[in-house]
Amino acid sequence: MKKLLLFDIDGTLLTTDGASGRAFESALIDVYGTAGPIGEVSFAGKTDPQIAYELLEHAEIPRSVVKAGLEDLWNRYLKHFDNELLSHIVRPFPGVVECLNHIESKTGQALLGLLTGNIEPGAQRKLDASGLGFSRFQVGAFGSDSENRDELPMIAAARAKALVGEHPECETLVIVGDTPADISCGKVVGARTIAVATGVYSRFQLEECCPDFLFDSLENTDLVWDAMIR
Ligand SMILES: [Mg+2]
């Protein structure tokens, strides 16, 4: 069975330099009249619905009210994000282009996938705006599939089965991400975990979560490939 390589997006493949956070804040205010304590709460490693529930809980908005507004929230978020993208550059991190190209050159050995807290159309916009391209990812699990990141590896695995006809064994799953939440969602299912310190968490903080591999960046293509595939 091929390896199923599941990449996180923000902090791992690229940065929007705050553009998606601003769009999220504007959308929350449009729909709920408040963005809660948005400046004090980290988005890192969380799914989009998880962030909305968490912020609005602080504002004492009942969960049922938040849930009823989510579809509207995503529509507003995407509109605000599209506006941000008119004047804003989304940058891939150093080495990411080379890393993804290398994986694609090894078609027999790995499926390229996403595992991200972004809602799917948000993921698509970020990857397309960065030039990395959304459509090259063969499999994905998104914040729009579950509020709980720990459920996303098995959703990605089920989609891989639909694609290749065989359910991937847990040991063929490889989760690549920049936060403790990426590492722990991989550990829940016995996946290999690769942490990269290009997001807000330091190498030291990630080390404490005991990922199988830890890199400062994805720049050393050969070492990263070896960690994913060996
Ligand atoms: Mg991330």
**pLDDT tens, per residue, the chain with 230 residues:** 789 999 999 999 999 999 999 999 999 999 999 999 998 988 899 999 999 999 999 999 999 999 999 999 999 999 999 999 999 889 999 999 999 999 999 878 999 999 999 999 999 999 999 999 999 999 999 999 999 999 999 999 999 999 888 888 888 999 999 999 999 999 999 999 999 999 999 999 999 999 999 999 999 999 999 999 98
- 150 and 61 in a single domain? The answer is no
Q: Which domain holds residue 181?
A: 3-16+90-229
- 105 and 120 in a single domain? The answer is yes
Q: Return the CA Rg of the chain.
A: 17
- 99 and 136 in a single domain? The answer is yes
What is the whole-number distance in angstroms between the Cα of residue 180 and the centre of ligand 1?
9
Structurally, the chain folds into a number of domains equal to: 2
Question: What pLDDT was estimated at residue 158?
Answer: 95
What is the whole-number distance in angstroms between the Cα of residue 174 and the centre of ligand 1?
15
Q: Can you name the residues that pair with 194 across neighbouring β-strands?
A: 176, 213
Dihedral of alpha carbons 131, 87, 139, 43, sign: positive
Distance (Å, whole) CA 77 – CA 81:
6
- 75 and 166 in a single domain? The answer is no
Dihedral of alpha carbons 27, 33, 38, 43, sign: negative
Question: What pLDDT was estimated at residue 143?
Answer: 97
- 119 and 9 in a single domain? The answer is yes
Question: What pLDDT was estimated at residue 129?
Answer: 96
What is the whole-number distance in angstroms between the Cα of residue 23 and the centre of ligand 1?
17
Question: What pLDDT was estimated at residue 169?
Answer: 85
What is the whole-number distance in angstroms between the Cα of residue 6 and the centre of ligand 1?
12
- 50 and 97 in a single domain? The answer is no
* Distance set, CA 88 to CA 20, 73, 82, 83, 200 (Å): 10, 21, 10, 9, 20
**Residue ending a domain, choose from 62, 86, 110:** 86
- 44 and 158 in a single domain? The answer is no
